[in-house]
Chain A
Amino acid sequence: MKVDLRRLLVLLPHLLVLRPLLHLVFGLNVRGRENLPVRGPCILAANHNSHLDILAIYAALPVRMVGSAHVVAAHDYFARRRLLFAVVDYLFKPIWVDRESRGDDAVTRMDTILDADESIVIFPEGTRGEAGQLARFRAGVGKLAGDHPEVPLLPVYLRGTERALPRKSSLPLPIWQHVTIGPPQQLVGGIRDITRGLRESICALERSQIASRHKRRPERHQAFVVAVLGIDGSGKSTLSRRLATEHSGAARSCLIGDSLELFAGGEPLAAQPLLKEKLRRWVGALAKDAKSLARYKVPKLTDLLLRDAMLGEARRWYGPDLVVMDGSPLLNMTAWSVLYRPELMSAEFCARAMAILAGKGPAKDPLYGEFPELKVMRRLGLTHLALPDAVVFLDLPPAVSMERIRNRGEKMQVHETEQKLGRLRDAYLLVVEVAREQLGLPAFVLDGCRDPEAIAAEAGELVAHLRIPARGEAG
């Protein structure tokens, strides 16, 4: 392979000087590196507060992108200092933009760069702005993304740079830099829509990051998680969708059901496709097609684990205020074990199984012998499932639910028989009781036979009532 000497000469100062310096003096923590495309170009759009921003982003990029990523920089600012201009021009190969003029050559330059499979780093705010505050976005990024819909657009949130080297200071201080790279956005619409969508996604990253930062006056941003449980055909999907929509009035809510959906102001928002979601849908289909309970087990377990992982993803990338989950992986797994080992089912068993699944159980327990898959999960470090903040169980006689399933006209799944659903229902009731009595969770059993409107109204009231303390903390 031919060594590209020019590229090497650009790479060396990056890898031998800038990167080590950033790590040793400031410290660099990168989240979401997996969101970067494995090959091909991408557009990275970040908030801009400091001269360190570009160094932090470059240090977070994989080596293959260091020589081939171009930052959009203001020519009028840098041209004033000749030495700085020369250094920046050599190290970052910027696309120089004059903020005063229209910049048509810059647009053609960007097009050629993306066509050559090289990437672009852009700060849509255009200037460094006030520390820690996201300014208005300029439309250039919307135009760029709109002209190249095939190129992934990644939001990046930088934190720490605004404290390490703020705009008004020329003295850098050692403070950790956190770079969060969000999942690729597929935004449609005009230039304005794309710009607005991008700004929202960076805002969401900011919210989820602020939650993990110390504040003298705490503004904890912790999503309230409601799990809606029920046997098949009890109407839990309908109810969870209604809860997510109706409670998105002043805030953002997120529904984790068959897919991940976002709502704000009662209206659905475009949620970006996540890799785990696609995986989960595929595994879920496998489970639905299973011919026997034994074949159903592994896909269903994987499906539930992925559902739990999606809760983490939703919290990290979207920063919602309320999450409604269609089922709770932890509680579902506990209840579902009744189909496999009915003789073990008891309140004591449920409490133990829930403790193990939440990662709080003892290292040695006879349960591991009973359920080998539990042992595997522990070995893989997967027994850290999230407990919901509140549980709603839709209670329904299995005969009624069978009737509803038959009316749907879909193919029956293996467990959808009256006897098995009856056993599941009893197990769910037990799990809900254990969650209420032993874990102190607010857990409610609603009568699922009634009119869906009445159920939704009652559940809505319960959730609104429960969320008051969470809101009080924020206000």
Chain B
Amino acid sequence: MRTDPTRINGELLTPVLILVALGLVLLAARLSRNRFRPPGYVGYFWVFLLVCVVADFFTFAPAVWLMAIVSFRALREYFSLVDLRLEDRWGILGAYLAIPFMFYLIQIDWYGFFIVSIPVYVFVIIPFLVALGDSRGQGSLLSIGAIDFGLFFFVYGLGHVAYLAHFSTWLTVQLLLAVAACNLATAVTAKQGRIAGLVLSCLACVALTLGLRDWTAMPTGPAVFLAVLIPALVQMGDYTVGVLERDLGITAADLEPGRGRVLDSLKSYLFTAPIVFHVLRWVMKFGDLVQRHEG
């Protein structure tokens, strides 16, 4: 029921070609430069693409739970790195339980509850749970802040990728490709600095969003706006998570399992996913969303 099958069959070839081409570019980047330290984001890029493919060609439920696993892995690594106390166990448990809850809301498409559940309900429950675990209160405030931060980015933020896939596969693919293009542009212009990276990212994204218009059904203006917005958000995310990594004692040179691998590979999506979702859904109001609601 999600998409019109006639629309897919005829026009499948071109997006597949784009995907293959981009895959080759990423593969080449991985093989030639920094051979022993491949860029971390490549791993989750493919998982996200898999989510889109599953969502579009099979059913939506497995795609959602695939994203739930990504979210769980990210949250688990974050909780392992942050200095949380033994007294915070109930709070951590609550945070983990929020994952199935949130992704179930996505699966049954209860948009209104999904969007308020973390900011309203979970952010009320977590402090309560932490306080229950430790009535003395030494360091509770920092623990609550640390748990809420993880929940917000790794469950709520990443949940938006899944919800976007629910609304429109091609808008999600466009987002993923744009983030990948930004990562690639930043890697290529590493020597020239952030500004050059931003400019190249914008150019690549403009080409991408305009090129994908046939599938995303996006008018030129919004497409260009999105192509400028995404690189800025990617840079913000990369920079912020880089600072947090330094605080957690992670160096990009040696990412070990359980010590920054997941966090590092997801950093570009954390800021991008929720904001792009919001812009598409409420500011631009077009595409599959509008069709769905009108139909």
Contact = CB atoms under 8 A, between A and B. Distances in A.
A27 B263 CA distance: 15
Contact of A176 (B77, B142, B191): B77
A178 B257 CA distance: 9
A31 B142 CA distance: 31
Given A160-B80, A176-B76, A214-B81, A381 B36 contact: yes
Output the residue of B35, B80, B253 with the most chain A CB within 10 A.
Answer: B80
Nearest to A178: B258
B89 interface: yes
A69 B257 CA distance: 26
Counting chain B CB atoms within 10 Å of each CB, which of A28, A211, A216, A220 scores highest? A216
Given A27-B76, A171-B93, A213 B83 contact: yes
Band of interface residues on A: 20 to 34
Contact of B86 (A163, A176, A177, A363): A163
Interface string B239-253: 000000001110001
A173 B257 contact: no
A220 B257 CA distance: 21
A211 B249 CA distance: 8
A175 B256 contact: no
Given A166-B86, A171-B89, A176-B80, A214 B248 contact: yes
B278 interface: no
A173 B76 CA distance: 9
Given A214-B247, A362-B191, A29 B259 contact: yes
B76 A175 contact: yes
B84 to A, nearest CB: 8
A381 B37 CA distance: 10
A169 interface: yes
Interface in A204-246: 211-216, 220
Contact of B80 (A27, A168, A363): A27
A214 B82 contact: yes
Interface in A12-46: 27-29, 31
Contacts of B79: 173-175
A377 interface: no
Interface in A99-113: none
B239 to A, nearest CB: 19
Contacts of B180: none
A138 interface: no
A131 B83 CA distance: 14
A51 interface: no
Interface string B184-195: 000000010000
Nearest to B80: A176
29 contacts: A28-B257, A29-B256, A29-B258, A131-B86, A160-B258, A163-B80, A163-B86, A166-B89, A169-B86, A169-B89, A173-B96, A174-B76, A174-B79, A174-B96, A175-B76, A175-B80, A176-B80, A176-B257, A176-B259, A177-B258, A178-B258, A213-B81, A214-B81, A214-B82, A214-B249, A215-B83, A216-B83, A216-B142, A384-B253
